[in-house]
């Protein structure tokens, strides 16, 4: 599986830059991402704070662990 280029906290920071008035194209150019990637991030992390992203990551990890346990039984 491919390693993520940005952490969840960094993605939220990128989205905050856009919310503060920068154009989408400028934000994408600055961080080297496509607009499609930007909108994918916005769909997943839009309106979140860093603490929310950490909780989401913890829940995803727990869910993956539980699915693995269920598959082993």
Q: What is the pLDDT of residues 28-66, one digit of tens each?
A: 999 999 999 999 999 988 888 888 888 988 999 999 999
DSSP-assigned letters across all residues of 35-65:
HHHHHHHHHHHTT--HHHHHHHHHHHHHHHH
Q: Which tokens in the block code for residue 41?
A: 């991030």
Q: What is the pLDDT of residues 4-25, one digit of tens each?
A: 788 888 999 999 999 999 999 9
Q: 1 versus 8: which is more confidently predicted?
A: 8
Domain boundaries defined on the chain: 8-72
């Amino acid at each position: 599986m491919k390693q993520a280029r940005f952490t969840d906290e960094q993605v939220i920071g990128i989205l905050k830059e856009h919310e503060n008035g920068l154009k989408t194209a400028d934000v994408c150019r600055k961080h080297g991402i496509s607009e499609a990637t930007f909108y994918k991030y916005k769909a997943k992390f839009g309106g979140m704070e860093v603490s929310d992203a950490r909780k989401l990551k913890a829940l995803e990890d727990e869910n993956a662990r539980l699915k693995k346990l269920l598959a082993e039984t």
